[in-house]
Structure 1
Amino acid sequence: MRVTNYSFTERFYLLYKVGRFAFSAGLLVLLFSLSSLGSSIVDSFSLAVLAVYSLVSLLLFALSKKPHFYEFLLDELFLFLLVVKGAFSYAFFSIFLLFPVFFSVIFLGAPYSYLTLLFAFTLQFFYFIVLYGGLSYEGVIQLFLNALALLFMLLAAQKLRVRFEAQELYIRSLEVEREEAQLYKRLYEISADLAHELKNPLASIRGAVELLREGKNSPKLVDIIYRETKRLDSIIKDFLNLARPSTGEVARLSLKSTLEGLISSVGHMGKEVSVKGEEVFVESDPKLLSSALDNLLRNALQWARRRVEITVLKEDGWAVIHFDDDGPGVPPSERNRVFEPFYSRRSEGSGLGLSIVKKFAIDSGGYVSVGDSPLGGARFTLKLPLRRSGEGSDSRG
């Protein structure tokens, strides 16, 4: 399961993009205001450079989804172009250069962060060459100290990156442990539900057998044993179908022919059943497909008042089968739960049929959902890829 929270890289990158745009736009407004007041320290070159930088910052903020090496080089270059024209002092330039170096380590790591550091040092060197024609003794000292500050910033950022990565690994391990705990909890719940489902018919059988042992022979007791044994057999078969992995057998099957065969086998249960739509073929495991469609058909027949309509369609590489009934429908609050194992809205149901459908849909790379039917009841929709590219794949054919 993907962690929905942003990683530290994503959070810091968003912060960096916002800071870059806020800095460039704010400085542009400030210089433009000074220029409009007739200040001599602002020239048209600085305004043009800053306007371009603000536009680039806006585009990167809107379009860039992950950090790139060229962004930090552009930041350093724009800062250099601004300082050589006196938009701000060399001291501020030295401070501002710390940010691209720091964030390049956080986002990119080695070797790109070292190249960013080297480029920042090179620009500082060219600052003295362009403005003063060379390096004086004081310039060498200043350049050395600033280079040392950049190096310390790089080392501090590397240490911080290691800590963040360790923190992320720890968070991921907690997420894995939580998922495993939820999985085991659900397994325990399924085991308890299975024991409960088996306990009731076994209790009925035991009671009937005890009466028979006491000499109370009765056809009703035999019927109870037969009915409850049959129920046990059905629960066990459904549970095995739910747990059984795919055999890997794949054949090209007609959905309409499969459905018509199932209707003939299951019967109409006193309801009006119709199959309409296109002749659609899918590549699937014949037994598993038949089991899934059989469960959807039985579910619709059991809840329908008078009518069940099955529609087969082909949509953009998908086979779509709608099962509509005119029954009471499924309340929105229960639509996520109906596919859970042993969840049943009928006292005589095992609650495994729709879980088998859900498992088949996932293994086939498809989907199953429930909503409102045009007939007034429930609509169960099974979507399957027309062709399978692999187990559990999402093939769109």
Structure 2
Amino acid sequence: MGPALQRGEAAGAEDSGRLAPPARPLSRALRALLPRGLLGRSVLIILIPMLVLQAVALQLFYGGHLDVISRRLAGGVAGDVAMLVELVRREDPANRAWIFRESAWRLDLTLAYEEGARIQFVARPASLPLLPLEEDLNTALWERVRMPFDTDWQSDPRSVIIRVQLPDGVLHVEAPRKRLFTATLYLFVIWLVGSALLLSLIAILFMKNQVRAIRRLADAAEAFGLGRDVGQIKPEGASEVRQAAAAFNRMQERIRRFVGQRTEMLAGISHDLRTPLTRMRLALAMLPREPAMEEDLAALTQDVEEMERMTAAYLAFARGEGTEQARPADLVDLVHDVAAKARRAGAVVEVTAPERLAMRLRPDAVRRCLGNLVDNARRHAGRIAVTVGTVPRNGAGGPGGEQKSAWAEVTVDDDGPGIPQAEREEAFRPFHSGSPNGTGLGLAIARDIARAHGGEIALEESPLGGLRARLRLPV
């Protein structure tokens, strides 16, 4: 049964390989060449069909109209040259003047005769490589003249010089290029290039306006997700984009109304919970201090303090620090404030940081996040090391996909017992506490604040032997 199972696993592996073939290098190269932005892809969608259509039209022009016209014009010039060659051959050299005169007047061909000369055939590069004019003229001359000849397209920019070898000399024929060239070619090429450029410009301008509206909507959504008050955005662009902007404005209003109602409700709950706790604290303080009741009174006072601390932690977690607005602040100052507070509580905290790290954030929320991380380390360790710096971003950025140039990174290391790797993610769950004196909300609140800023918190193994909390915020 073992070999059969192995063969089945091998067959399954082969089937999975056939179902998921590796990406071909050509497809990867094509994807790399395609633009990633909506503007570039939309312009390509508009321009590629137009360019293909113009390429087909150009091919039909070259293969049809231009080819036919070129052969007819070349045939007409070659026929005139053949007739003049025959007249020059038959006429006495002394009486050839009338042929030259009539040719210049009636055929627009200038003739010259060089007695006793021989044609020096010279290899010349094509002066019009994209047009069939030279080849068509040579073919027509060979069919009609049937004598050694040479064509020169480069000596005169306005004429084509044709040399024909006669028995007693060389006949020079100067034909104007306008007899071999049609101006419709220029018009056609200008129309193709001009229309392509004009349509490209129109497409780019039009799509840029559409994409600008989408970008503004994305920026507003990202800023609103980070807790910034962006206000109502103006609907603009296509009707679908306007509809999305209007829906976003309505969503903002509903969320603000919900947060406001929840904040008012939590304020009432806070008042209702803290009032009886205050009365209990006052009652305990007014009770007579008898030696027999001293231990019980201390225990009750400790229970009331713990209830007050838990109530404050629960309300802070539910509130989520969402009412504070982001503003420029110095992350290094916040770290030093948190470290000083931890030292006053008896902790040993070492801070390694630059002189200044300015960024846009919600200072009170970040101070609470850092305080929770340091307090969590203080409860489980005797030594704490806090390091502040910046690291380049890798990939698309934070969890929201925002593009940032760098991360501001704060690491909190301790020498405590640490957390096993399998339980580190569980430590971020609300009310999950590894300490008998904790509420289980410190890390949950810290991660909530970090993600609200577009960052993240991760737990790792510390070089000090305990736990490392790594906080990253987009700069």
Which TM class, normalised by the smaller chain length?
A: 0.3 to 0.5
TM-score by length of 1: 0.42
Bigger Cα Rg: 2
TM-score by length of 2: 0.36
